[in-house]
């Protein structure tokens, strides 16, 4: 069945059944920043933004995304003009193996949309659903703090 959907600012029509996982549909469409980690909603590697809210696509059906705006990691900036969250994750060495980073950067972006000047506790809470096996989350928290400052107009 042909389903209309908006991904990263583009209207698309995807072939999928309404009961297919959003994760599978997005990956079939070439959005490989959406990762299959745990497949049961626990690791956060499959997070995308749905109407600016982080959602785990491994437990969400494509039919639930109908009429909503989806943003994947690929939709946050470009290689030539990266989003401040991506830029700060790189500058602060918050990226190691990279598997969890797309979901983590989207969770952080959702926080910064809602809360432009978050506390450290709010930052930690925003990424608590993103499991990272390589780090202790310290560099990611610092990266999010710096991205928040940039997005507020600081340096």
Residue 22: burial class (beta carbons within 10 Å; 0-12, 13-18, 19+)? buried
pLDDT at res. 7:
97
pLDDT at res. 18:
84
Helix 138-151, helix 101-114: angle, nearest 10:
40
Q: Which pLDDT band holds residue 124 (cuts at 50, 70, 90)?
A: very high
Q: How far apart, in whole angstroms, are the C-alpha atoms of residue 35 and residue 117? A: 29
Give pLDDT tens digits for 72-121: 999 998 889 999 999 999 999 999 899 999 999 999 999 999 999 999 99
Q: Which pLDDT band holds residue 60 (cuts at 50, 70, 90)?
A: very high
Contact 98, 109 (CB under 8 A): no
Domains detected in the chain: 2-74 (3.10.20.30), 84-151 (1.10.150.120)
pLDDT at res. 66:
87
- The two tokens of residue 2 are 């042909």
Signed CA dihedral, 68, 29, 10, 14: sign only: negative
Name the average pLDDT for the chain. 95
pLDDT at res. 154:
79
């Amino acid at each position: 069945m042909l389903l209309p959907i908006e991904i990263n600012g583009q209207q698309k029509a995807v072939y999928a059944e309404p009961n297919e996982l959003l994760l599978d549909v997005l990956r079939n469409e070439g959005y490989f920043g959406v990762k299959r980690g745990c497949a049961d909603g626990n690791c956060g590697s499959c997070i995308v933004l749905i109407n600016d809210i982080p959602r785990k696509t491994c437990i969400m059906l494509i039919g639930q995304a109908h009429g909503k705006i989806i943003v994947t990691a690929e939709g946050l900036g470009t290689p030539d003009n990266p989003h401040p969250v991506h830029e700060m994750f790189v500058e602060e060495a918050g990226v190691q193996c990279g598997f969890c980073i797309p979901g983590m950067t989207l969770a952080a972006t959702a926080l910064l949309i809602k809360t432009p000047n978050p506390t450290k506790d709010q930052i930690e809470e925003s990424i608590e659903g993103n499991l990272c096996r390589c780090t202790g989350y310290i560099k990611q928290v610092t990266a999010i703090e710096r991205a928040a400052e940039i997005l507020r107009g600081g340096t």
